[in-house]
Structure formats: structure tokens, C-alpha cells
Amino acid sequence: MTKLKVAVIGAGSISDAHLTSYMEHPEVELYAIVDMNEERAQAAVQKYGAKVAFKDYRDMLADPQIDAVSICTWNNSHGMLSIAALEAGKHVLCEKPLCTTVEEALRVEEAVRRSGKLLQVGFVRRYGTNAQVLRRFIDAGELGEIYYAKASYLRRLGNPGGWFSDKERSGGGPLFDIGIHVIDLCWYLMGRPKVKSVSGNTYTKLGNRSNIKNLTFYQAADYDASKNDVEDMANALIRFENGASLMVDVSFTLHAKKNEFAVKIFGEQGGAEIEPEFTIMSEKHDTILNITPQIDHPSFDFMEGFRNEIDYFVQVCLGRKELISPVEDGVELTKILCAIYESSEKGTEIHFNK
Ligand SMILES: NC(=O)c1ccc[n+]([C@@H]2O[C@H](COP(=O)([O-])OP(=O)(O)OC[C@H]3O[C@@H](n4cnc5c(N)ncnc54)[C@H](O)[C@@H]3O)[C@@H](O)[C@H]2O)c1
């Protein structure tokens, strides 16, 4: 059996989910790991049993043996690295967000077309078992026409610092980091309707609250609280051309009683709460039913999600499956996120071109 030879660029926190999934995959040879922090790349090569470490991604891309790469770096390098990898003839799995600007996202889309190579966007929540099971119910028409979705991803304390809170490297705060997951999941489950307009608000009222004691929170690999120019929280109302709408709110910090993670969609025949616990709601014989699907992980399981996403990428590279999170979806999500910031800045609704 010929194995897919894979390299991972960026050996920080999230790379573990990629590297573990590749390492365990029977049809993959985990070949190279790249990080500008050379010691980090070397340590990962040791830990995951890859062959070679690189400091400069260009040296890795020059190796014709490598078939595919995962990009797990800061957000502002995703576009540049995706284009370079595609031009070097590699398939790409790019972590979310695809890019931090619409112009760059369109350049990646063009590079995909030009190169004839495949690019999967790492919208990992789509690959959660709960999302895939719900998709089957939706595709079978069990929820009818979906006309409303509502998502919250609220951290009361959780600005990760480092590059996450440096807008130049991250593109934005909770919207780009966690909001993207729930906006994408709703949009995907709604059948990816065309966006008509976006109205958003962002707030920078509380700062990063690195002063808070006795309460732990997620921190970047290179934690640094000294720079923070991203929003604390954002909310948005997204209207679609088919009349459906999506309401969302997200935060790195907020005076909330506790964290909240909720994703709900509502259709004419039924509804579903996919987070925090998978439930399908419907009506039969004049009675309302709340149905609890019996699956191992009723809410998103991190490692299972990544295993599914990476197995899917491998199958796509081997020509056995069609992409379910293609570059076009990465472009659309970048447009939505950027429109939320633009709407907040201008204080008006942003209309998308027909
Ligand atoms: N899908 C998810 O659930 C999920 C979760 C966390 C992070 N992410 C995404 O993964 C990416 C990485 O996040 P993280 O938490 O691992 O960050 P991190 O800071 O822990 O790691 C990033 C690594 O990339 C390296 N790096 C940055 N630019 C580089 C370049 N040009 N060449 C080589 N190495 C480079 C850094 O040295 C660092 O080791 C981000 O885009 C983030 O949005 C996704």
C-alpha cells in the first residue's frame, strides 16, 4: 500500500490533534514537521515519530516526496502558506480561518483552481459525529425548511493572549477564533444559503482581564498578555437570500455567570440543539417530542472531530471522497467575519453583492 506522505506546518497547541490523527492513520506516513521555532519542530518529530524537522517551510515544500500538508500556524500566515503549498503541488488542509482578509481568501481560491490541487478548510465542527448525524436527518427532510439558527460561544474569561490577541496576526478576537466555528456549523447545517446582509457589533469594554486570579483559562503556547487589540465580544445578525436568519454572540470575556456554548437550528418540521447536547425536536400526533440520539459523543468530542476531519482529508487526497469543506466555504466565512467588523465600525448593515 502506498501511503500519503504528510507534513505539518506549525507545531504549537493544535498541531497535536493533527499529528496524533496522522500518526495513527494506517494510510499516512507522517513525514515532516515545520516550525519557525526549531526546537519545537524537533521535539514534535521525536514525539510523533516523523522523519524530519524544518525551520523554514520553503525547504519542506521543495521536497517532491511530500503529497499533502496541514497548516497549523497563526491566522495571518494561512493564506500565504496555502498558496505556496498549492503551487508546490501539495494538497492542503488549512486550519480555520482560511484567511484574515477577503482579498487573500480569493487569492487562495484562485491558487486552488490554478494548481488543480485540493484544499480542505479545517471547519472541524462539521466533522463531529453529532453534526454528521444531524446532516442525515436534515438531508432526509426531517426538519423541513430551516429558517432560523442561533449560536452562542461565550467565555466569561478566556482571552488566550499571545498572537490570538494581536489583531495583525489573528485577524480578530473571539469572532475569528471561536465564533467562526459556530457560524460555520449553523451555515453548513442550514444548507449554506447565500448571504444577503450582515449586521454586527463588536465591543472592547473589558480588556483581556489578565488581572483575574484563582480562575484558570486557556492560554496560547507563547502566552503574552501585554498586547491586546482585539474585541472582547461580538454579536451579529446574518440574513440569507432565502429568508432565513442566524443570530450569534461570542466572547473572550464578558460579565457572564458562566461559559455558554449553544448551537440551535429551527425548521418548519422540527428543530435541533446540536450543542451543548444533541437533541432533535419534532411534533407527532399532537405531541411535542424531544428526541435524544443515542451516539457515543452527543456533544462535540475534540479528538474524535479531528480524527474524522483528518481521515476525511486523507480519503479526499486518495480520490475516494468529495470535499465537504472546500475553499469556497472558507472564502464565504471570511466574508461574513469581515462584514461583521465592517458593520460594527460603520454602524450599518452590510449588503452582500448578488
Ligand atoms: N480547529 C480548532 O478547533 C482549532 C483550535 C485551536 C487552534 N486552531 C487554529 O490553529 C492555528 C494554530 O493555533 P495554535 O493554538 O496551535 O497556536 P500556537 O501559537 O500554539 O502554535 C502556532 C505555531 O505556529 C508556528 N508558526 C507560526 N507561523 C509560522 C510560520 N510562518 N512557519 C512556521 N511556523 C510558524 C509558531 O511558532 C507556533 O509554534 C490557528 O490558526 C488557530 O485558529 C484551531
Q: Kindly give the number of the ligand 1 atom that is closest to the alpha carbon of 12.
A: 21
Residue 38 buriedness (CB in 10 A; 0-12 / 13-18 / 19+): middle
Cα–Cα–Cα angle for 5, 77, 8, nearest 5°?
A: 20
Quick check: is 315 in a domain? no
Distance CA 277, CA 233 (A): 24
Quick check: is 318 in a domain? no
Using pLDDT thresholds of 50, 70 and 90, give the confidence band for residue 103: very high
Do 91 and 223 share a domain, yes or no? no
Calculate how far, in angstroms, residue 220's C-alpha sits from the geometric centre of ligand 1.
Answer: 9
Q: Is the pLDDT assigned to residue 85 strictly greater than 90?
A: yes
CA 188 to centroid of chain Cα atoms: 12
Q: Kindly give the number of the ligand 1 atom that is closest to the alpha carbon of 55.
A: 33
- The CATH code of the domain that includes 33 is 3.40.50.720
Check residue 34 and give its pLDDT. Answer: 98
Do 244 and 139 share a domain, yes or no? yes
User: Is the preceding peptide bond at 276 cis, omega within 30 degrees of 0?
Assistant: yes
Do 54 and 168 share a domain, yes or no? no
For the chain, the domain total comes to 2
Single residue among 89, 124, 159 that ends a domain in this structure? 124
Quick check: is 333 in a domain? yes
Calculate how far, in angstroms, residue 272's C-alpha sits from the geometric centre of ligand 1.
Answer: 32
Question: What values do phi and psi take at 27, rounded to 5?
Answer: -105, 15
Do 87 and 77 share a domain, yes or no? yes
Do 174 and 84 share a domain, yes or no? no
Query: What is the tens place of the pLDDT at every residue in 211-230?
Result: 999 999 988 888 999 999 99
Residues in contact with ligand 1 (CB, 6 Å cut-off): 9-15, 34-37, 40, 57, 72-75, 77, 95-96, 122, 124, 163, 177, 220-222
Average pLDDT over residues 241-264: 98
Check residue 290 and give its pLDDT. Answer: 98
Q: Is the pLDDT assigned to residue 286 strictly greater than 90?
A: yes
Structural domain span for residue 78: 4-124
Query: What is the tens place of the pLDDT at every residue in 31-40?
Result: 999 999 999 9
Q: Kindly give the number of the ligand 1 atom that is closest to the alpha carbon of 15.
A: 16
Distances (CA, A) of 163 to 14, 222, 230, 329: 14, 8, 10, 24
Single residue among 124, 145, 177 that ends a domain in this structure? 124
Calculate how far, in angstroms, residue 10's C-alpha sits from the geometric centre of ligand 1.
Answer: 6
- The CATH code of the domain that includes 277 is 3.30.360.10
Query: What is the tens place of the pLDDT at every residue in 107-123?
Result: 999 999 999 999 999 99
Do 68 and 143 share a domain, yes or no? no
Distance CA 141, CA 98 (A): 31
Whole-number average pLDDT of the chain: 97
Do 120 and 268 share a domain, yes or no? no
Quick check: is 319 in a domain? no
pTM assigned to the model: 0.97
Q: Kindly give the number of the ligand 1 atom that is closest to the alpha carbon of 122.
A: 1
Using pLDDT thresholds of 50, 70 and 90, give the confidence band for residue 16: very high
CB–CB of 206/158 below 8 Å?
Answer: no
Query: What is the tens place of the pLDDT at every residue in 288-328?
Result: 999 999 999 999 999 999 999 999 999 999 999 999 999 99
Q: Is the pLDDT assigned to residue 128 strictly greater than 80?
A: yes
Distance CA 108, CA 86 (A): 9
Quick check: is 92 in a domain? yes
Quick check: is 65 in a domain? yes
Query: What is the tens place of the pLDDT at every residue in 130-146?
Result: 999 999 999 999 999 99
Average pLDDT over residues 144-160: 98
Q: Provide, rounded to the nearest whole percent, the portion of the chain with pLDDT above 70.
A: 99
Average pLDDT over residues 267-283: 97
Calculate how far, in angstroms, residue 277's C-alpha sits from the geometric centre of ligand 1.
Answer: 28
Check residue 221 and give its pLDDT. Answer: 81
Using pLDDT thresholds of 50, 70 and 90, give the confidence band for residue 353: confident
